[in-house]
Amino acid sequence: MGDINIPAGWNSVSLGEVSHKLVDGSHNPPKKKDSGLPMLSAININGNYISYEPCRFISDEEFEAEHRRTLVRAGDVLLTIVGAIGRVAVVPENHQPFTLQRSVAVIAPIQIHSRFLMYQLESPKSAKYFKENSRGTAQKGVYLKTLSRLPLEIPSLNEQHRIVAKIEELFSELDRGIESLKTAREQLKVYRQALLKQAFEGKLTEQWRKENVDRLETADQLLERIKQERETRYQQQMEAWKAAVKQWETDDKEGKKPRKPKKLQENILEQDIVNELPNLLGVGVHAPLGDLIDEPKYGTSKKCTYNTNGNGVLRIPNVVSGRVDSADLKYAEFDDSELHDYVLVDGDVLLIRSNGSVSIVGKSALIEPKDTGFIYAGYLIRLRPNANLIISKYLLFSLEAHMLRKQIEAKAKSTSGVNNINSGEIRALIIPVVGLKEQSVIVGLLEEQLSVIDSSMFNVENNLIKSEALRQSILKKAFSGQLVPQDPNDEPASLLLERIAAEKAEAVAQAKKIKTAKKKAARKRS
């Protein structure tokens, strides 16, 4: 049954052969309640531990019915089988009573070390089996019948104990290294935000301003220029539209009539937000983002595929760390009118406007020359900066700063499960603005210093990936008999499996007797 070489004395079996019980949780998730008994889902199984937060609660009566069916006990192994398939944990002694939702299965091993089974269920071989045998469209899952056929490699019980001890010794060392890497990652994030804070409070360019005092605009001058530039930009768009309509009429009105630019909208400066922002050391102003950009433009709703005909369409996965990653690209065909509406140009900023995670909403990418010509999908929104007022990269960096993240998350956060920020809310975001010369200096300083942070972050992330690869290598060795030496005095696994088969047969026979007795009792009562 196994697809790897195993030592003499080991045996290949299926999960169903060595389990008393293999049951999934309730297929009827409870309504949200603030009290009662906990019903856990896949989200509560992580890192080989069981968490009780967050969870839903059920009544005592509902709990009793589910508990009789799943009968979760200490030593059972929990396995996530829907969505994030393959996360595992062992039910500890003296655990808080709980029952399960459909996304988690409970397995009661027969004479198999529970933690040995837990680690084997998260081994590379098991992960491959889950991937190849999961089914579903919206969310993939593994059926119990399929799960029961999962191949396992079983040594003697003594060797199972030795393997578990060695895994946990190695994992303990590995986890200490991972914890150090995660701490370093958080410190780098804090340093990055501190640098952005200095930049947008005017502290990063304080010395530059002292040396260039004659080149600086006053706050009043900057506000007046923002107003004038905004009106000029709108008039330019109107003139371009009139010319396009005239050409359309000359061409016998072929194709769609060019769209008229939206009327110049007033962008309100929300004073309560401004009051919470730093004073910019008197060198800049706080302005609504809508005063600095064209009307935000939602992406296309046209269905796109991996068929390479047409134009590449950027989606949420293509917005990565402030840039466009076009490795995973889909395509669709667009007419000239659609291309005019949606094609991206150098200097545009793409912003994620909708996501299940509020921390993802507002993440942005700068469109560079290599990205021009791409279209963008509906969960993204295009910001086109007025180059006479704001440098694209200055806007990109400001959207990452804490003062903007706080505004974005406050506007986007929802209890519905989908967090969303609309064009009006984007226009109302308050941006710290200084003159273009100072913006250019800020961008240069940030690029220089953030490149060092980004390089360190890359190394940390790369080492975390290597750590996970090492974890998988340890598990692979463990379940091919290469992690600990075999002891010739150990009994062969075949004897253990004989005892397991006998115990399982006895349990099945006992269950039949109980079922028969219940039927007889029912007939007597009737």
Q: How far apart are CA 177 and CA 348, in angstroms?
A: 40
Q: Using an 8 Å Cβ cutoff, are 443 and 347 in contact?
A: no
Q: Using an 8 Å Cβ cutoff, are 52 and 96 in contact?
A: yes
The domain containing residue 42 runs over which residues? 13-154
Residues 416 and 444 in one domain: no
Residues 85 and 46 in one domain: yes
Residues 283 and 304 in one domain: yes
Residues 340 and 401 in one domain: yes
Q: Could you tell me which of 357, 356, 353 has the C-alpha nearest to residue 365?
A: 353
Q: Is residue 501 part of a domain?
A: no
Question: What is the per-residue pLDDT for 283?
Answer: 63
Give the Å distances, CA to CA, from 378 to 36, 314, 342, 427, 452: 41, 10, 10, 18, 34
Residues 181 and 74 in one domain: no
Strand-pair partners of 21: 108
CA 504 vs. chain centroid, Å, equals 42
Question: What is the per-residue pLDDT for 32?
Answer: 63
- Structure tokens given for 167: 């895994």
Q: How far apart are CA 210 and CA 372, in angstroms?
A: 39
Q: Is residue 233 part of a domain?
A: no
Q: Is residue 524 part of a domain?
A: no
pLDDT, tens digit, 9 for 90 and up, residues 409-419: 999 988 777 89
Q: CATH number of the domain at 163, please.
A: 1.10.287
- At 201, give phi and psi (nearest 5°): -105, 0
Listing DSSP states for 13-76 in one string gives EEGGGGEEEEEE-BSSPPPP-SSSEEEE-GGGEETBEE--SS-EEE-HHHHHHHHHHH---TT-
- At 308, give phi and psi (nearest 5°): -80, 15
Q: Is residue 489 part of a domain?
A: no
Q: How far apart are CA 328 and CA 315, in angstroms?
A: 9
Q: Which of 382, 403, 434 is the last residue before a domain boundary?
A: 434
**Each residue of 490-514: b (16+ CB within 10 Å) or e?**
beebeebbeebeeebeeeeeeeeee
Residues 117 and 71 in one domain: yes
Residues 398 and 319 in one domain: yes
Q: Is residue 445 part of a domain?
A: yes
Q: How far apart are CA 514 and CA 520, in angstroms?
A: 10
Residues 347 and 439 in one domain: no
pLDDT, tens digit, 9 for 90 and up, residues 226-267: 999 889 988 998 998 999 899 888 888 888 888 888 888 878
Question: What is the per-residue pLDDT for 221?
Answer: 87
Residues 348 and 413 in one domain: yes
pLDDT, tens digit, 9 for 90 and up, residues 199-218: 998 889 989 988 998 888 88
Q: Using an 8 Å Cβ cutoff, are 113 and 164 in contact?
A: yes
Q: Which of 434, 467, 484 is the last residue before a domain boundary?
A: 434
pLDDT, tens digit, 9 for 90 and up, residues 396-432: 999 999 999 999 999 998 877 789 999 999 999 999 9
Q: CATH number of the domain at 54, please.
A: 3.90.220.20
Residues 419 and 444 in one domain: no
Q: Is residue 410 part of a domain?
A: yes
Residues 454 and 378 in one domain: no
Q: Is residue 69 part of a domain?
A: yes
Residues 173 and 293 in one domain: no
Domain count, the chain: 3
Q: Which of 154, 171, 201 is the last residue before a domain boundary?
A: 154
Question: What is the per-residue pLDDT for 508?
Answer: 81
